[in-house]
Amino acid sequence: MNRNYFHLHLVSDSTGETLIAVSRAVAAQYQGTVSIEHVYPLVRNAEQLGRVINEIQSAPGIVLYTLVDQELSDELQASCAEFGAVTLSVLEPIVELFHSYLGPAQSPRPGAQHMLNSEYFRRIEALNYTMAHDDGQAVDDFEEADVVLLGVSRTSKTPTSIYLANRGIKTANYPLVPGAPIPPALFSLQRPLVVGLFASPERIVQIRENRLLSLNASDNTSYVDRQMVSDEVNQSKRLFHERKWPVIDVTRRSIEETAAAIMDLHRSHQLKFIAD
């Protein structure tokens, strides 16, 4: 049946992040169809589940869930079957695969992936560092970074840095500004992976024009002059080539795709750094 929208119910005994990520990845394949998300996090007892079931019944659709408690899982499936909502346990196929290979889980726990462990605190440390070293701040501390991103304005340095920090990678970034000298400290970095980001001049001009429009600022400036922007991009690419820094063209890449490429480079850089 063709639909231009549908109700998507995401039921989790944790934060619901897993369900949101998975469902949006699939929903993105259906252009022209809008998913109306209903997110129910921290569902851990029968009373909470009862309220969720009532809401699902008022707007049936697709129900995705991650519930460790088998009784709650069974109740959700049975209730949804009664009023025609389709259900799927997103984790069950993966749990069964782990079970077949590793045996039963020792202690199933809702939200176990969000425990306050060393990985969690590593991510917090990375976020704090990244925010303190955004847009060229505290250049003298860049040696402590895992990754340093360079690029002209509007090459997604900051959002990419924050995404990497959420993965536990301490990331600093520095903007390449026409006519502004580059701090010598950037040329003597040893530990961090330095990556150059660039985009097509056309794409950068488009983003900059939108930026000026949002600020109600005049677009009569070299900031959006196509020739000037082209010169900026070419100068940055020459710098990256001279320093033999890896480069990534972000013109048609999402933040996630750019970050994935950087993480792959970072893994190789770590191995080389350890070997040296």
- Residue numbers belonging to the annotated binding site for ADP: 151-158
Phi and psi torsions of 109, nearest 5°: -135, 125
Contact in structure between 187 and 143 (CB atoms under 8 Å): no
Residue 123, number of CB atoms within 10 A of its CB: 15
Bridge-based pairing state of the strands 5-12 and 62-66: parallel
DSSP helix/strand/coil, 227: helix
185 DSSP 8-state letter? G
Exposed / middle / buried, residue 45 (Cβ in 10 Å: 0-12, 13-18, 19+): exposed
What angle (nearest 5°) sits at the alpha carbon of residue 18, between those of residues 132 and 24? Answer: 95
Per the structure block, which two tokens stand in for 120?
């969690």
The binding site comprises: 151-158
Tally of helices (H runs) and strands (E runs) in the chain: 9, 8
Exposed / middle / buried, residue 218 (Cβ in 10 Å: 0-12, 13-18, 19+): exposed
Residue carrying structure tokens 């460790």: 68
CA torsion sign for 248, 253, 254, 257 is negative
Q: DSSP characters for 103-139?
A: -S-SS--TTGGGS--HHHHHHHHHHHHHHHTGGGTTG
Q: Which of 138, 142, 147 is nearest to 194 (CA)?
A: 147
